[in-house]
């Protein structure tokens, strides 16, 4: 059993601490045109109103970090990601997570960001390791490492652990400390493979036991193609928190999801006197009364 590591992320004025004996850090997933048609159409039209509203709403709902994805087909991604970052920073002051596979967009994002960002992501492919790790080192950013490599996505938790080990080793070689590596076990759709949830949960447990690193995951992916996704997402995220998930990428606006996270934190002993749970309950009551 290794010790639990601390990952620090920073915005201009705020520091977020990701650690296994602290409450779960929610990374808000909504600023992402690839999964959301309304965001895609607004960004294609040069309209950032939805992005600004998504930033405000997610932070109000409990996101401590925001994922920023600028994947609009045909768009100049380096320019677009900078525009999104500026709009988001005008309305909220939380650390950002740059969700892109394009090294130019990543460099553009890091170059204007004030603080310590989370890069989303590197993986075990040679090309990715060589492109992304030097940028993480140069900008002092933390980085999410996906458990896949040149051979694809491994089918067993043990093989995913081996990919995580390689990413950690390659990062260490260029001077990135292990606490700045956050591992993503890869949550794939259970509609395509009913074992994919189980493999992700087992990978989390193995990686935590071996390295004590923080764990992120796209916790909504698991339910793609299924009806009533919110119940699957909320159950799965609670189980994953027990296994060692510390910073899920998810949608805090979904009541079932945010309450599952808060109840999991309470159940893990990370909510003294249940004060966070009670505060969230009062907020929901107030919103109901206002509606
Ligand atoms: N790991 C890491 N990063 C990731 C993922 C991951 N980034 C992208 C993705 N997976 C996580 N982000 C999302 C964003 C949206 C949705 C799911 C995951 C989503 N969207 C709804 C849909 O497609 O049905 C649309 C919702 C709407 O229109 O409001 O579910 O795994 N490191």
6: pLDDT strictly greater than 80: yes
268: pLDDT strictly greater than 90: yes
Q: Reply yes or no: is the peptide bond before residue 121 cis, omega within 30 of 0.
A: yes
The angle at the Cα of 138, spanning 143 to 84, to the nearest 5 degrees, equals 65
242 vs 52, 91, 128, 279, CA distance in Å?
A: 33, 33, 30, 22
Give the pLDDT confidence score for residue 282 in this predicted structure.
Answer: 96
Asked whether 32 lines ligand 1 (CB < 6 A), one says yes
Nearest to residue 20, comparing CAs of 264, 188, 201, 197?
264
The angle at the Cα of 237, spanning 233 to 282, to the nearest 5 degrees, equals 90
Please give the distance, rounded to the nearest whole angstrom, from the Cα atom of residue 2 to the centre of ligand 1: 31
* Model confidence pTM above 0.95: yes
Asked whether 123 lines ligand 1 (CB < 6 A), one says no
Nearest protein CA to atom 1 of ligand 1, as residue: 218
Residues contacting 143, CB < 8 A, separation 6+? 118, 119, 120, 121, 122, 132, 133, 136, 171, 176, 180, 181, 182
Asked whether 216 lines ligand 1 (CB < 6 A), one says yes
How far apart are alpha carbons 56 and 80 in whole angstroms?
19
Crossing angle for the helix pair 77-91 and 103-112, to the nearest 10 degrees = 30
Q: Which residues pair with 97 in a beta bridge?
A: 67, 118
Q: State the architecture of 7-290 in CATH terms.
A: Alpha-Beta Barrel (3.20)
Confidence of residue 3 (pLDDT cuts 50, 70, 90): confident
Domain extents in the chain = 7-290
Asked whether 122 lines ligand 1 (CB < 6 A), one says no
Q: Phi and psi (nearest 5°) for 8?
A: -105, 135
Phi/psi region, residue 212 (left: phi>0; alpha: psi -120 to 50; beta: rest), is left
Give the pLDDT confidence score for residue 36 in this predicted structure.
Answer: 87
Crossing angle for the helix pair 196-211 and 157-173, to the nearest 10 degrees = 40
Crossing angle for the helix pair 229-243 and 196-211, to the nearest 10 degrees = 20
101: pLDDT strictly greater than 80: yes
- Half-sphere exposure at residue 87, Cβ-oriented, CA atoms within 13 angstroms: 21
Nearest protein CA to atom 19 of ligand 1, as residue: 35
Please give the distance, rounded to the nearest whole angstrom, from the Cα atom of residue 220 to the centre of ligand 1: 6
The preferred substitution site among 25, 30, 36 for testing ligand 1, maximizing ligand atoms within 8 Å of CB, is: 36
284: pLDDT strictly greater than 80: yes
Distance from chain centroid for Cα 54: 16
Q: What is the DSSP letter of 115?
A: S
Please give the distance, rounded to the nearest whole angstrom, from the Cα atom of residue 218 to the centre of ligand 1: 6
Structure confidence by residue, pLDDT tens digits, 102-134:
999 999 999 999 999 999 999 999 999 999 999
Confidence of residue 2 (pLDDT cuts 50, 70, 90): confident
Nearest protein CA to atom 24 of ligand 1, as residue: 35
**Average pLDDT rounded to a whole number, residues 260-265:** 98
160: pLDDT strictly greater than 70: yes
Structure confidence by residue, pLDDT tens digits, 175-188:
999 999 999 999 99
Give the pLDDT confidence score for residue 1 in this predicted structure.
Answer: 58
- Alpha helices, H only, the chain: 37-44, 49-61, 77-91, 103-112, 126-139, 157-173, 196-211, 229-243, 255-267, 275-290
Structure confidence by residue, pLDDT tens digits, 38-67:
999 999 899 999 999 999 999 999 999 999
Residues contacting 154, CB < 8 A, separation 6+? 147, 148, 160, 162, 163
């Amino acid at each position: 059993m290794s010790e639990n590591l601390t990952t620090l992320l920073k915005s201009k004025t705020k520091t977020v601490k990701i650690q296994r004996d602290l409450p779960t850090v929610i990374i808000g997933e909504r600023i992402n045109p690839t999964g959301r048609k309304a965001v895609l159409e607004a960004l294609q039209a040069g309209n950032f109103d939805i992005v600004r509203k998504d930033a405000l709403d997610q932070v109000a709902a409990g996101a401590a970090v925001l994922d920023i994805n600028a994947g609009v087909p045909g768009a100049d991604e380096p320019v677009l990601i900078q525009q999104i970052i500026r709009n988001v920073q005008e309305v909220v002051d939380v650390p950002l997570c740059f969700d892109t596979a394009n090294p130019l967009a990543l460099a553009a994002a890091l170059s204007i960001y004030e603080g310590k960002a989370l890069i989303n992501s590197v993986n075990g492919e040679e090309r990715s390791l060589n492109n992304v790790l030097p940028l993480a080192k140069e900008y002092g950013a933390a980085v999410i490492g996906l458990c896949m490599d040149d051979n694809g996505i491994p089918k067993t938790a043990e093989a995913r652990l081996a990919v995580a080990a390689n990413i950690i080793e390659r990062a260490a070689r260029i001077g990135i400390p292990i606490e700045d590596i956050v591992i993503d076990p890869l949550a794939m759709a259970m509609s395509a493979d009913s074992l994919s949830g189980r493999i992700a949960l087992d990978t989390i447990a193995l990686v935590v036991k071996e390295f004590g690193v923080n764990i992120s995951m796209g916790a909504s992916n698991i339910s793609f193609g299924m009806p009533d996704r919110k119940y699957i997402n909320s159950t799965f995220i609670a189980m994953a928190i027990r296994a060692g998930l510390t910073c899920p990428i998810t949608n805090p606006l979904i009541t079932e999801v945010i309450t599952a996270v808060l109840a999991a934190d309470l159940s893990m002993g990370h909510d003294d006197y249940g004060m966070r749970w009670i505060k969230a309950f009062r907020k929901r009551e107030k919103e109901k009364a206002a509606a």
